[in-house]
Structure 1
Amino acid sequence: MASRDQFQRFIFEHSQVRGAWVQLGESYREIGSQAPYPDSVRQLLGESLVASVLMSSSLKFEGTLSLQAQGEGPVRTLMAECSHDRYIRGLARFDEHSMAEESFEALLGEGRMAITITPDKGQRYQGVVPREESNLAGCLEDYFDRSEQIATSLFLFADDNCAAGLMLQRLPGHTEEDDDLWERVNHLARTVEAGELLELDSTTLLYRLFNEETVRLFDSEPVAFRCSCSRERTEKALEAIGKDECYSILEEQGSIEMDCQFCHAHYRFDRNDIDHLFTGHTLH
């Protein structure tokens, strides 16, 4: 069986309408295994991971795109990130004692959502995502319409084992013919069912939806879970905490222990490590 962890772009020939498809299997399960997520939280995380991959397809540089939400509902924090080379990671923090309802609005409650684009070189950009729709796809469609002025349709699904999505966009400079095409393909896309997106390969799915249109598929790209944490990045976090605070923790605890929230990698720093970090040398 071909890997389900695949991303693929496509275009409708001779038009300003484009699309992207993604399906996550092993990468989604690996991320989902990092915590005992309830089904509703796991599925929301899966939809967010799918959305991060689809949205990152427009990146024209090396870097990452992340979707982040802070809420007052059972899900306090939601984060999904995809790099330009299709490595993903994500997490959700939740209060298991207040998991009464499972809708998107109930899970996050009042709060904010943002998209952060972080180039490897250059300045970080953050855009606020409106929280006025009843699902994640609708909120992100609003974001593209208001912030990017790009008409966008998103279809996001996730179950216990797989997460998948489809994105359609009408680019600036569209013609009247493009507008007609946009209406047709959106009408067709709205017929897609969760099982089709989660189970069918891209060729089969796109033919089933758009067999009367001329669609050109680009080469598929693998998607994989990989955490970007490292000892060096953890040291930078310690530098941001500051010398005085680090030595205060050392005096109290004897060492500084830090765990990655995404992959649970463990980093330990003793006094020699902190001496070297802040002075460039150790006492021993």
Structure 2
Amino acid sequence: MLKDTSFVQRFLFEELDIRGAVVQLNDAWRAMIQDRHYAAPVRTVLGEMAAITAIMTGNLKQPGRLTFQLQGHGPLNLLVVDCTETLNIRGYAKGDAVPEVAPLPAMVGDGRLLLTYEVNDQLQPYQSYVPIEGDTMAAVFEHYLALSEQQPATLLLACNGDAAAGLFLQKLPDADEKDADGWARITQLAATARPDELLTLDTETLLTRLFHEEHVRLFDARPVTHHWPMDPEKVESMLLSLGRGEVEAIIAEHGVVEIHDDLSNHTYRYDADDVAALFAGHVPPTRH
């Protein structure tokens, strides 16, 4: 039976100074890939990236919007996942002739990972680029976190057509002082988690199974959603900004103006009558 909810749930090994989080994307993941028809390896890496993005957004010190773009020169040339401070997530993949079975480097080729962090009260977003290093999505983000936060992190990820999930662990500055062997012990235990456990077990059961001799403080789970309804006003504003002449030229050439929102997976179509009605109700600004 498929799970209906998606969540991120943080936890802390207080005696070890190690933090972590569990993510399960169920209904949100299925909604995100509905009608996308991705090949299995593309679906897997997109789901893993979605799981990581949800975890990292849930860990932000200042509320904001987090967007990751993985850009490369292989058959899979773009992965984008965007998540708001309320954990409303969306994303997509773009590429041609991606092999049915392929490791991440073969799919992406050389490239880079871009983070964009938009804090609500700041005008300019923070952006950070790093090369794509690693054979898996988990390794790519472990490398990214090591560079950006200067603290070791471990990620275990799983994804299929019904769900995407992950377990995140990060060593905090005082971990070695509290227990010199704590980080090695926790990461070794975490490595025993099976993909089906990540995808199906609730957080408490998963952590108890992996770390039954450790004291874990569990925080409340936060729901993750995929709710991105169509926004015709935004699209029509863009068309108006292009000007009537340019839009009518597109109509003359193609018979219709078609705009696809890749992130939210919506298609907007305007024929000649729609365009005439749009511009009939628009009063151009006065020029001085």
If the length of structure 2 is used for normalisation, what is the TM-score?
Answer: 0.85
CA separation of 1:252 and 1:28: change in aligned 2, threshold 3 A: closer
Q: What's 1:103 paired with?
A: 103
- Mean Cα deviation higher: 23-32 or 46-55: 23-32
Give unmatched runs, 5+ long, in structure 1. Answer: none
**Cα distance per residue 1:131-168 (max 9 Å; x no partner):** 12101111111111112212211111101211100101
- Mean Cα deviation higher: 230-239 or 125-134: 230-239
How high is the sequence identity, in percent, across the aligned residues?
35
Residue type of the alignment partner of 1:142:
H
CA shift for structure 1 position 215: 0.2
- Superposed, 1:1-284 pairs within 5 Å as 3-96=4-97, 98-99=98-99, 101-122=101-122, 123-227=124-228, 230-234=231-235, 237-238=238-239, 243=242, 247-253=245-251, 256-261=257-262, 262-266=264-268, 268=270, 270-271=275-276, 273=278, 279-280=284-285
CA contact (8 A) 2:10 2:21 kept: yes
CA shift for structure 1 position 104: 0.8
CA separation of 1:143 and 1:228: change in aligned 2, threshold 3 A: farther
Residue type of the alignment partner of 1:106:
A
State the alpha-carbon separation in 1 of the partners of residues 208 and 171 from structure 2: 20
CA contact (8 A) 1:243 1:278 kept: no
What's the RMSD between the two structures over aligned residues? 2.6
Residue type of the alignment partner of 2:210:
L
State the alpha-carbon separation in 2 of the partners of residues 55 and 237 from structure 1: 32
CA contact (8 A) 1:129 1:140 kept: no
CA shift for structure 1 position 251: 3.3
**Cα distance per residue 1:170-207 (max 9 Å; x no partner):** 22344422543222111111111111111211111000
1:118 alignment partner, SS class:
strand
CA separation of 1:73 and 1:271: change in aligned 2, threshold 3 A: same
State the alpha-carbon separation in 1 of the partners of residues 285 and 278 from structure 2: 10
- Mean Cα deviation higher: 41-50 or 166-175: 166-175
State the alpha-carbon separation in 1 of the partners of residues 45 and 189 from structure 2: 25
Aligned length: 277
CA separation of 1:89 and 1:60: change in aligned 2, threshold 3 A: same
If the length of structure 1 is used for normalisation, what is the TM-score?
Answer: 0.87
Residue type of the alignment partner of 2:108:
L
Give unmatched runs, 5+ long, in structure 2. Answer: none
CA shift for structure 1 position 69: 1.4
1:279 alignment partner, SS class:
coil
